[in-house]
Amino acid sequence: MTNQFTGIPSSTLDFLTNLKGNNNRDWFNAHKEYFLEQQAHIESFADRLLAEMNLHDVIETPSGKKSLHRIYRDTRFSKEKTPYKTNWSGSLSRATAQRRGGYYFHIEPGNTVLAGGFWAPNAADIKRIRDDISFNPTPLRKILTHIHFIETFGTLRGEQLKTKPKGFDANDEAIDLLRYKQFLLIRYFTDEEVLAPTFITQANETFRNMRPFFDYMSEVLTTDADGLPA
């Protein structure tokens, strides 16, 4: 399957557009076979991406199929009761606790995103990250200002505190970084880019350009102040 992948066809986006206008079980069940055909294209994309990424990282997600998120929405606790998502999405997990950070893809007409980072770090992790940044923000700033980072992601994203975090000085030279509650790397793509044969290369390169940031975070979160395993 990996060798046969030549690109994402326009039919995968067309299906999502049609689903958005017919987001009900009757329409979906009547088009179930077509859905499975289009989903198979995304599985092939994810398989190829997984193979490419394992050349420069170690991914524990076993297959493209296993990376995909279900298209069925959980409406139990949501005011939005449409039963289906109108995007293809999936995630790839880095192997072992020593490799922190995760990869995510979201393919949707007019809103395709490749992203990665730390969506909801726990209190202990965010404290370690902030302590390291406050002690010496230079390594992280060097990553965030590197030409490859800026060209790919623009800037670090994520929710931020409006004021300083508890236990830190408002005049800390790294207060702009210390306010982050999430640490996200995001890149947007047009439909034309998604459907181009080069998208798989762009996707792989996007995720590879996250590695300096992930390597920094992994070291902070898995070693103590002396650089020994925590």
pLDDT digit string, tens, across residues 103-117: 999 999 999 999 999
Per-residue pLDDT tens digits for 23-65:
999 999 999 999 999 999 999 999 999 999 999 999 999 999 9
DSSP letter string, the chain: -TTT-----HHHHHHHHHHHHT-SHHHHHHTHHHHHHHHHHHHHHHHHHHHHHTTTS-B----HHHHBPPSB---TT-S---SB-SSEEEEEEBSSTTS--EEEEEE-TT-EEEEEEESS--HHHHHHHHHHHHH--HHHHHHHTSHHHHHHHSS-BS-B-SSPPTTS-TT-TTHHHHTBS-EEEEEEE-HHHHHSTTHHHHHHHHHHTTHHHHHHHHHHHHB-TTSSB-
Nearest-angstrom CA–CA distance, 134 and 16? 45
State percent of the chain over pLDDT 70. 95
Give me the sign of the Cα torsion angle 56, 214, 210, 143. Answer: negative
Per-residue pLDDT tens digits for 171-196:
999 999 999 999 999 999 999 999 99
Per-residue pLDDT tens digits for 144-176:
999 999 999 999 999 999 999 999 999 999 999
Q: How confident is the model at residue 80 (pLDDT cuts 50, 70, 90)?
A: confident
Cα–Cα–Cα angle for 191, 193, 195, rounded to 5 degrees? 70
Separation of CA 3 from chain center: 24
| Partners of residue 137 on adjacent β-strands | none
**Domain map of the chain by residue range?**
10-222
